Every structure is written in structure tokens, then in C-alpha cells.
Amino acid sequence: MTMLKLHALLIEDDPHVLYGCEQALYIDEIASVGVDSAEKALRLLTPDYPGVIISDIRLPGMDGMALLREVHERDPDLPVILITGHGDVALAVQAMKDGAHDFIEKPFTPEVLVDITRRALEKRALVLEVRRLRQQLQDRDFIDHRIVGRTPAIERVRRLVRELAPTHASVLIEGETGTGKELIAQALHEASDRRKGHFVAVNCGGLPESLFESEMFGHEAGAFTGAAKRRIGKIEHANGGTLFLDEIESMPTVLQIKLLRVLQEKTLERLGSNAAVPVDCRIVAATKEDLRALADAGKFRADLYYRLNVARIPLPPLRERREDIPLLFEHFLLQASASYGRPTPQITPARMRQLMSHAWPGNVRELRNVAELCVLGIETDAPPFGDHRTPDGLSLPETMDVFERSLIRESLRKHDGNLVLAAQALQIPKTTLRDKIRKLGLAGEVH
């Protein structure tokens, strides 16, 4: 964030003084916004306000000292510069004690105003940059914690979420049932500046068509039989937040048209009303089908497809990221143990081989269910523990390579890439481990 992107908020009830300050800053390429009261200035303040405040102490209504206190309650790091008249030195001293960044005594030269303003802007730019970096770290930690895995495919998903979360772009998440589409949508929401708004999830395939319009758009009292009072719909409830439309391919065509209109005009009309309600929500849609193919076949509106598909996040099925299975399973075991208040079971190598060789048609959701059964101590003959076949498309040697790569990668991770410690943990010679690392393409894991 550069200083020229910030501006000075000038508060002065004398129009001639205000104009002179604006001109002095303009000549020095510092943008400014001028108002004639503290009350008007407060209405302009937003969280992480991109500027500094320069205010006369003596104002009609709220004075500069009261403004200073109010601003510091909202944001203690927002610089406030107070302009004092002759004889207001005592007020200026008190203002500095109360946290004012600086003060300027009338009469003052343009050079003094510019110099103090520039230093305040530099301080504000630094504060906002630190906040931005801190938020990025928090978002990164959140995304890394929620999206578990180390395979290149899942690393790409994490990268896309990090890149797209700060934007307001519509996102289309594609993946088979159980791959975690709603989790990705929640991560996009929580890592965005809309996190304080609602995350509203709608399963488009789970709502009867007769109720869909009322659920999505809301209705007024008396709009139809049984509508006893006004109801706010899902789209309106998501105003300021994120609307997640799961199984978007199953949305009725007539409602696709209405949704498209909402996205284009950013307004909706409740059933039984002609009044337009403004809405501003981010749309994240998910599908298990090829939405482009459906649009080409006339089974989904092409214009809505292109409106939703501004950005795309494809989710890999679990069978294509088998090396993540041990880490994911451990993650789900810990979650289930905490949820049920039960000890975390130890998984034997034989059990892990079964997990690694299973086809996982239900993807990550199925793996999580198996982890919960293990924590609850429920044995089953059903797959994966009752299924000893190799996964579809993989030979036995290929399956063993996947399993071996996963064990070695996990051991290297636990020992920070230390070859000697990893070899001791795996109970194999260091030279053998080095050969396997070279064979399995894991040289980048050794530090």
C-alpha cells in the first residue's frame, strides 16, 4: 500500500480555510476529502479507514477533542491531527496526551501542513500494511488447517482458495460427491472480507420446486395460502456475505432465469411484492456434473453458467490423492475423538494398507465416516476393511508404491526432512531410505 493511495480527511467549518488546505495538499499530490463537521466525518469512517484525519478543534456541534476520543474508540491507530487557534496551547497539550498524532497552530504555512500530513500518511500506510499481512497469515493458517493434504492436487486447491478469497468473484467448485465442496466454499467465505456476513448454504437438489422460489427470494405476508408473515429468503439473508448453491445443476430452469436477473441487477423482489430489494452477496456454486456440457446440451442456461464460472476450483477425488489418506485419516480420528470423548485408536500398518487400497467411491466424506467408526470401536466387514482388492486402475506394485511414498513422506514431515531420524523411525538403513526417496521422487522433502 503506497502513500498516494491514502488520503486526508479534512474537517473545517470555515470554507476558505478548508479550500486552502485542500489546495496545499493537492499541489503536493496528496488526495483529500473535505467536510464541515465532525458528524459528517464520522459517517465516512470505515474499518481500516485508508487515510488520516485533520480537524479544527473548534467546530459547531461535536468539537475536535470529542472527535479525537470517538475516533480512538473505533481505531486507536488512526492518526488524528488537530488544528488549534492562538491561545489553544493547553488544548493542544491535552490532545497529545489523549493520543492525537500531532497538532498545527494557526496561522500555518502550506509546507507545515504538507509535512505533518505526509508523516501521518506514512504511519497509516505502515499500520494498514501490517494489518494486511497479519490477516493474510491468519487466512493462510485457517486455509491450511481446513484443507488437509500435501499432494500437488490439494496444494493447487489451497493456492486457488488463497488467491480467490479476497476477491468478490463468483466461483464454481467442481467435484464428485463427498470431495468437500462445501468446505471449500466455507474457506472462501472465512478468508474473505465478507466473513462477518452470513454464509448461507442451499442444496438446490434438496428443495421441492414448489417451495424453491419462496425459500430463495422470500415472500410477503399473504403472498400465498399459508404465508402468514413476511419471510426473508436465502439470497437476502446472505446480503453482505456468501451464498453457496450446492448441486446448482438441479436448479429448475425458471428459477435459473430469476437467479441470473438477481446476479445482473443486484436486486430481488419477494413473492407478493413489487419493491426491489438491493442485495450484495458473493455467489459460490458447486456441481458434481459437467456444467459446460449441460449448458451445451440445453439442460442448463448457458448465460447463468458463464455468470457463475468467473473462477473455477476443481476438486480431485480421493482416489487421485491417495498419499493424503494417512494425514486425512489422522485428522478425522482426532476430530472424532474430541467429538465423542473417546481415545484416539492406533491404526496398524495392515489397517492403513487397507485404507490406502480402497477405491473410496464416497471420497473424503466416506473416509471421515470410517474414522468415526474406528473411534467408536465399531468393526465392520464392509469396505475398506472388508475389501482386500487393489483399487481400480492400479496394480499391486503401484498400490504399494503409493503406500510406501505416503509413509516416507509422513516420516520426513515429522522429522523436518531429517534423513537420519526418518530412517530410524522407519527402521530401515539410511542408504535404503535414500534410494527409495530417489525412486519415489521425494528428493524435495529432504532438508
Q: What is the mean pLDDT of residues 159-172?
A: 93
Least confident of 178-187, 288-297, 385-394: 385-394
Last residue of a domain, one of 262, 282, 316: 316
Tell me the pLDDT band of 139, cut-offs 50, 70 and 90: low
Q: Would you state the pLDDT for residue 55?
A: 93
Residue with cell 415472500: 219
Evaluate if residue 207 carries a pLDDT over 70: yes
Q: What are phi and psi of 272, to 5 degrees?
A: 85, 10
CA distance 189 to 146: 12
**Same domain (yes/no): 19, 80:** yes
**Same domain (yes/no): 311, 323:** no
Last residue of a domain, one of 276, 295, 316: 316
**Same domain (yes/no): 185, 273:** yes
Residues in CB range of 172: below 8 A, 6 or more apart: 248, 285, 286, 287, 291, 308, 309, 310, 311, 312, 313
Tell me the pLDDT band of 3, cut-offs 50, 70 and 90: very low
CA distance 189 to 199: 7
E-assigned strand segments in 251-356: 267-268, 277-278, 282-287, 311-314
Least confident of 52-56, 338-342, 364-368: 338-342
Q: What are phi and psi of 119, to 5 degrees?
A: -65, -40
**For 315-343, what is each residue's pLDDT tens digit?**
999 998 988 998 899 889 988 888 888 88
Quick check: is 197 in a domain? Answer: yes
Quick check: is 139 in a domain? Answer: no
Evaluate if residue 179 carries a pLDDT over 90: yes
CA distance 186 to 183: 5
Q: What is the mean pLDDT of residues 43-64?
A: 91
Evaluate if residue 267 carries a pLDDT over 60: yes
Q: Would you state the pLDDT for residue 208?
A: 81
Can you tell me whether residue 286 is helix, strand or coil? strand
170: domain CATH number? Answer: 3.40.50.300
Q: Among residues of the chain, what percentage have pLDDT more than 90? A: 48
Number of domains in the chain: 3
**Same domain (yes/no): 117, 164:** no
Q: What are phi and psi of 103, to 5 degrees?
A: -140, 155
Q: What is the mean pLDDT of residues 45-57?
A: 91
**Same domain (yes/no): 362, 380:** yes
Quick check: is 334 in a domain? Answer: yes
Residue with cell 449441460: 294
428: domain CATH number? Answer: 1.10.8.60
CA distance 63 to 58: 5
Quick check: is 172 in a domain? Answer: yes
| Cβ contact 55:103 at 8 Å | no
Quick check: is 418 in a domain? Answer: yes
Last residue of a domain, one of 272, 299, 316: 316
Q: How many CB atoms lie within 10 A of CB 414?
A: 12
Q: What is the mean pLDDT of residues 169-188?
A: 96
Tell me the pLDDT band of 1, cut-offs 50, 70 and 90: very low
**Same domain (yes/no): 290, 270:** yes
CA distance 66 to 51: 19
| Cβ contact 285:245 at 8 Å | yes
| Cβ contact 251:245 at 8 Å | yes
127: domain CATH number? Answer: 3.40.50.2300
Higher per-residue pLDDT: 61 or 357: 61
The residue segments making up the domain with residue 8 are: 3-131
**Same domain (yes/no): 192, 235:** yes
Three-state secondary structure readout of 52-103: EEEEECCCCCCCHHHHHHHHHHHCCCCCEEEEECCCCHHHHHHHHHCCCCEE
**Same domain (yes/no): 288, 230:** yes
Q: Would you state the pLDDT for residue 397?
A: 64
Tell me the pLDDT band of 87, cut-offs 50, 70 and 90: low
**Same domain (yes/no): 162, 217:** yes
Least confident of 43-47, 128-132, 183-187, 192-196: 128-132
Three-state secondary structure readout of 336-383: HHHHHCCCCCCCCHHHHHHHHHCCCCCHHHHHHHHHHHHHHCCCCCCC
DSSP characters over 150-168: -SHHHHHHHHHHHHHTTS-
Evaluate if residue 248 carries a pLDDT over 80: yes
Q: What is the mean pLDDT of residues 37-51?
A: 91
Cis peptide bond N-terminal to 314, omega within 30: no
CA distance 414 to 408: 10
**Same domain (yes/no): 369, 422:** yes
Quick check: is 411 in a domain? Answer: yes
**Same domain (yes/no): 178, 238:** yes
Least confident of 15-29, 283-297, 337-351, 359-373: 337-351
Q: Would you state the pLDDT for residue 141?
A: 63
Tell me the pLDDT band of 406, cut-offs 50, 70 and 90: confident
Quick check: is 137 in a domain? Answer: no
Evaluate if residue 158 carries a pLDDT over 60: yes
Q: Would you state the pLDDT for residue 35?
A: 94
- Provide the mean pLDDT of the chain: 87
**Same domain (yes/no): 184, 238:** yes
Quick check: is 140 in a domain? Answer: no
Q: Among residues of the chain, what percentage have pLDDT more than 70? A: 91
